[in-house]
Amino acid sequence: MLRLAIQSKGRLSDESTALLKEIGVSLDDSHRKFLLQAQGLPLELLYLRDDDIPQVVSDGTAALGIVGLNEVEERGLPVKIVKKLGFGNCRISLAVPKNAGYDGPQWFNGKRIATSYPNILNQWLQENGVSAKVQVITGSVEVAPAAGIADAIFDIVSSGGTLVANGLLEVEKVFWSEAVLISAGNLGAEGEEILKEMLFRIDSAQVSRGKKYLLMNIPTAAVDEAIRIIPAMRSPTIMPLAAEGWCSMHSVVDEADLWDKVKLLKAIGAEGILVLNIDKIIP
């Protein structure tokens, strides 16, 4: 059995739990505890603050962890990024009051910058030859300029709405983050097998995201052109219909391209197009 540390609340908690359920790991979290036994894979869930997860994985208290890449970078601990998970996307940016007259990185010279990520910030300051005072704040960093605590902030940005609400302007995008699965290694033979199965299921879930399954009737003469339009993952399934001169065609398309593809297919005679959701694609 492996112990997996995940965020107890906040940005990544719900999405981490949703991923586990998507890969067949069921959780009875109606009465959430600090430690929770999972079903579907031999996992034990350890609920923690996000900034504690790299530490407990590094020291072996947990074998695996799901945490933001930003926390891994900030802590600088010897953990391995096993897989990027494709959710929890955000960036850490520098922001200043919107009327500050920002004219480039040199603006920060001699300024006070409030942040919860001093190590990432100090690296950027050094790389850009900027001398500023870094003030470490936990909590609502974005209120620091209005409160007179700092001249600027360095904080997580998702949509940017919080910055706007606090009269701030994002001026430097420094670090891009997403949820990652981490490990300190040394899982043992049994642990490696559990991790291998977990990664296999995650890959299957990720491949299926943003995909739609298409079924349609298409004139036999238009099959070659239809294959060019929707080549599928390897090759579409083509089956003759009872009606002479017609085939049934099955394929997979990216949801982002769906309506453009449908328009092209209709133009070459496709009829009765069905669009279905995909639960899993096993690579």
Out of 1.10.10.10, 3.40.50.720, 3.90.950.10, 3.40.190.10, the CATH code matching 90-177 is 3.40.190.10
87 backbone dihedrals φ, ψ, rounded to 5°: -135, 175
Higher pLDDT, 126 or 209: 126
Cβ neighbourhood burial of 8 (10 Å; 0-12, 13-18, 19+)? middle
- What is the topology classification, in CATH, of domain 2-84+179-207? D-Maltodextrin-Binding Protein; domain 2 (3.40.190)
pLDDT at site 90: 93
pLDDT at site 33: 67
Above pLDDT 70, what percent of the chain?
Answer: 98
pTM metric for this prediction: 0.84
pLDDT band at 9 (very low <50, low <70, confident <90, very high): confident
Rounded CA separation 39/25 (Å): 6
Q: What is the mean pLDDT of residues 213-223?
A: 96
- What is the topology classification, in CATH, of domain 210-277? Alpha-Beta Plaits (3.30.70)
- At 184-212, the pLDDT tens digits run 988 999 999 999 999 999 999 998 988 99
Q: Give the number of residues written for the chain.
A: 283
Half-sphere exposure of residue 138: CA atoms within 13 angstroms, side-chain side: 3
DSSP state of 26: B
Mean pLDDT (the chain) is 93
Bridge partner residues of 94 (DSSP)? 154, 172
- At 93-104, the pLDDT tens digits run 999 999 999 999
- Residue 254: partners with Cβ closer than 8 Å, 6 or more residues away: 210, 211, 212
Indicate if the pLDDT at residue 151 is higher than 60: yes
